[in-house]
Amino acid sequence: MMSDSNPHQFPEACEKSQGPIVNSERPPLFRSWNRLYGFVLGELVLLIVLFYAFSRLFQ
């Protein structure tokens, strides 16, 4: 049976936020997260087009 958690156990969960959380970590391969997201979306569009062409070719 679970007991009530001690509020001093996780003090960061009890503190009030002083504004938006900003993640300053860079992505592994690109200069910004937006470029990484753009690359992933572009890859997905390319795969959809290739699979569509492949399926039309072998109907």
Per-residue pLDDT reduced to its tens digit, 22-44: 767 888 888 888 999 999 999 99
**Residue 14 counted as domain residue:** no
**Residue 50 counted as domain residue:** yes
What's the domain range around 56? 30-59
Q: Are 36 and 27 in contact (CB under 8 A)?
A: yes
**Residue 6 counted as domain residue:** no
Domain total of the chain: 1
**Residue 37 counted as domain residue:** yes
Can you give the pTM of this predicted structure? 0.56
**Residue 40 counted as domain residue:** yes
**Residue 48 counted as domain residue:** yes
Q: Are 16 and 23 in contact (CB under 8 A)?
A: no
**Residue 12 counted as domain residue:** no
Q: What is the pLDDT of residue 25?
A: 82
Tell me the mean pLDDT in the region 6-33: 71
